[in-house]
Amino acid sequence: MRTPMVFALAFVCAALTGTPAALADPPVPLGAGLTERDWRAEASRDAEPDAQEFKLINYFFTRVSVTNQLADPSGLRGVSLGPIGIGENAGSSTSVGGDTTTAYIEQRWIPVLSYSPWFADGMATFRAQFEIDYQWGQAANQIQNNQGGGLNADQVNIQTKAVHVSLHPLRDPAKLTLVIGTQPIYDNVYDPNTTSLFDIVKTGYKLAFIGSDATGLSVFSRMGGNWKASFIPIGTGQPDKAEKGDPSPAYVYMLTGDYDYELAPGTHIGASLWHLRDDTEGTAFAFEGLVKSGPGSTGLFPYTGTPNFQIEEASGSVTWAGVNFNHNIHFNTGPWAASGFFMFNSGSYKNNKENSGLNDKLDISGYSANFELMYNHGKTQGDMLTFETMITSGDDDVSDDKYTGAFTLNNYGLPGAVWFNHKTLILFPFTSTVSNYTGAVTDISNRGFGLQSAILTGSKDLIPDKLNLKLGAAFAQSAADPPPVDTEGVLIARGRTIGVEVNAELRYHIRYLMTVGLHGGILKVGDFYDANPQVTTNPWAVFSTFTWYGF
């Protein structure tokens, strides 16, 4: 309301002093006690440095863990993945039993390098992102990822996360951006290079289907809404080399299309259509030389918690179609916020191995649904009440030729999807982690049996924007009845209840983007684990974390 009056006063002053209105100085938004000289000194940008061509974003994280979950990495030295109680000598083979506990410290460093030279005139940016992970005291003087915390260290342990160029043909990244090379790939419409992780996990499909890195081409634009299109080669193999002498590569590739429209300020609705094609006949690897990828892999499902499909040398395709929404996730228009999605997946694979004794084909159809409601009950965004549910369809017999559950890129990556918007520590894996990402449910398909879950949390800033306490509770069960367990020739029925978790987290912000935390939880397991020799007591864990973002 003050702007028209300021322009009127400026015109009057110009007339009285004989200065043409068109040549008068621009109006000054003076506040209480602020003189024009003060305002101009404060608003001046003459002393600001030039825009930097080279930028570094630095992420450092350390976690101390004390738990009765005993993970035994198989093949992936230093890395524990996969659900609790998946089976002995399988995946991370995480067991919970007796009075045995373990303790360890792990560390992660991720630098993100960005270079925008002046001579590119705003049309190009180069980015590189690496990751160095290890457990304190584990391994030295060799070459291996997730290693190098021992005496001498001297470890070659650099994992490539991103090496790509972002092109801006219109000199405006919001209008058009082409990303070429190794890049983050998420089930989200926004460019992860210019969008905060908070927005990524609160919108789209929350990394429940796609959450990893890959090499390919992505196009982003905010003209006429937000949209993204990607072409991602996921894997490659040589299926005809041995028998036909044909060394030509066959590919697993994925095409994605996403669109998001802002209905009102802070309220968005989106739609997606993705398609994956696999012609490798099971010769592509999720971990090179060790774990093959695809629904016919006999080694991938224990690490990622996907179904154990009975098919070999598989080739085929999967299509996803989904809708999603989010409202006021930054609480700019009120105390209530919400987000969610619905996704349907359908596809078919065939068995290319003759006389395998397994299914000749695999037909896939299933759905997934998510809803999250948030209420900001206090003065800071740390004062929060949240409710979230994740529901996926299930299959009571994943060994037959029809699968009626969710299908994620955990069937191709190690992992390929990392839904971590859940705010739990054990029922679903604790988000703040390095090399140990284990929990009761590690893929939303829940090994193919489906999922019905509810998560409730309440948090309060004990010291505004400084010290935050969060309390949480969560429940999950399978959507379908799991098969009975054969124990010495006797079939023992299992139930659907996975368990109930209660947890608490205390975080203290030392400085801006520098935080220490204490986190603890316990999971009361249900009859889903009946007759499971790896789960004979309730898993618990206590974590201490230190996190520092710098840029």
pLDDT tens profile 148-165: 898 888 888 899 999 999
Please give the angle made by the CA atoms of 513, 514 and 520, to the nearest 5 degrees. 110
Name the DSSP letter for residue 289. Answer: T
Residue 309 makes CB contacts below 8 A (sequence gap 6+) with 295, 296, 301, 359, 362, 398, 399, 403
Radius of gyration of the chain (CA): 27
For the cut 60, the answer to whether the pLDDT of residue 12 exceeds it is no
Query: Counting beta carbons within 10 angstroms of the beta carbon of residue 425, is it exposed (0 to 12), middle (13 to 18) or buried (19 or more)?
Result: buried
pTM for this one? 0.89
So what's the pLDDT on residue 43?
A: 64
Collapsing DSSP to helix, strand or coil, 198 comes out as helix
Return the pLDDT at 7: 32
The pLDDT of residue 16: 32
Can you tell me which residue has the tokens 């065939």? 350
| 116/124 Cα distance (integer angstroms) | 6
| Between 137 and 39, the higher pLDDT residue | 137
**C-alpha span between 361 and 370 (Å, rounded):** 30
Considering only residues 53 and 23, tell me which one the structure prediction assigns the higher pLDDT. 53
- Distance (Å, rounded) from C-alpha 368 to C-alpha 138? 39
User: What is the pLDDT at residue 14?
Assistant: 37
Give CA–CA dist 117/140, Å, rounded: 38
Q: What is the mean pLDDT of residues 454-466?
A: 97
Instruction: Show the CA angle centred on residue 427, arms to residues 501 and 211, nearest 5°.
Output: 145
pLDDT of the residue at 26: 45
**CATH 2.40.160.100 correct for 75-96+105-550:** yes
Q: Mean per-residue pLDDT for 113-124?
A: 92
Written as six digits, the tokens of 165 are: 């160029």
DSSP 244-267: H-----EEEEEEEEEEEEEEETTE
pLDDT digit string, tens, across residues 504-541: 999 999 998 999 999 999 999 999 999 999 999 999 99
Cis-peptide, bond into residue 415, ω within 30° of zero: yes
Residue 542 has pLDDT above 70, yes or no: yes
Query: How many other C-beta atoms lie within 10 A of the C-beta of residue 211?
Result: 25
* Higher local confidence (pLDDT), 339 or 356: 339
Residue 226: is its pLDDT beyond 70?
yes
Going by C-alpha positions, the residue among 283, 287, 270 that lies closest to residue 321 is 270
| Mean pLDDT score of the chain | 90
User: Is 60 exceeded by the pLDDT of residue 6?
Assistant: no
| Residue 160 burial (CB count, 10 A) | 12
Confidence of residue 39 (pLDDT cuts 50, 70, 90): low
DSSP 103-122: EEEEEEEEEEEEE--GGGTT
> How much is the average pLDDT of 346-367?
95
Rounded average pLDDT over 132-141: 91
> 464-502 as b/e, with b when 16 or more CB fall inside 10 Å?
eeeebebebbbbbbbbbebeeeeeeeeeeebebbbbbbb
Determine the pLDDT at residue 5: 34
Distance between CA atoms of 329 and 327, rounded to whole angstroms?
6
**Tokens in use for 225?**
């809404």
Among 454, 428, 450, CA closest to 439: 428
In this prediction, residue 289 carries a pLDDT of 87
At position 360, the amino acid (one-letter code) is: D
Q: What is the pLDDT of residue 302?
A: 92
Pair of tokens at residue 216: 């390919």
| Res 51: pLDDT | 67
Q: Are 213 and 185 in contact (CB under 8 A)?
A: yes
Degrees to nearest 5, angle at CA 232 with 325 and 202: 25
- Compute the distance between CA of residue 364 and CA of residue 347 in angstroms, rounded to an integer: 5
d(Cα 434, Cα 207) in Å, to the nearest integer? 17
Residues 254, 237: Cα–Cα separation, whole Å? 15
Q: What's residue 2's pLDDT? A: 42
CB contact at 8 A, 155 and 142: yes
For the chain, which residues make up each domain, given as ranges?
Answer: 4-41, 75-96+105-550
- Whether the per-residue pLDDT at 36 is higher than 90: the answer is no
Torsion sign (Cα): 441, 136, 467, 69: positive
Q: How far apart are CA 416 and CA 318, in angstroms?
A: 15
Entry field: residues in the chain: 551
pLDDT(375) > 70 = yes
The residue among 78 and 62 whose pLDDT is bigger is: 62
Q: Which of 223, 226, 283 is nearest to 412 (CA)?
A: 283
Write down the pLDDT at residue 142: 85
Q: Which residue has the tokens 């919400």?
A: 338
* 239-291 confidence digits (pLDDT tens): 988 888 889 999 999 999 999 999 999 999 999 999 999 999 999 999 888 89
CB 306 within 8 A of CB 403: no
Per-residue pLDDT for 144 more than 90? no
Backbone angles phi, psi at 321, to 5 degrees: -135, 130
Predicted pLDDT at 20: 37
Structure confidence at residue 146 (pLDDT): 86
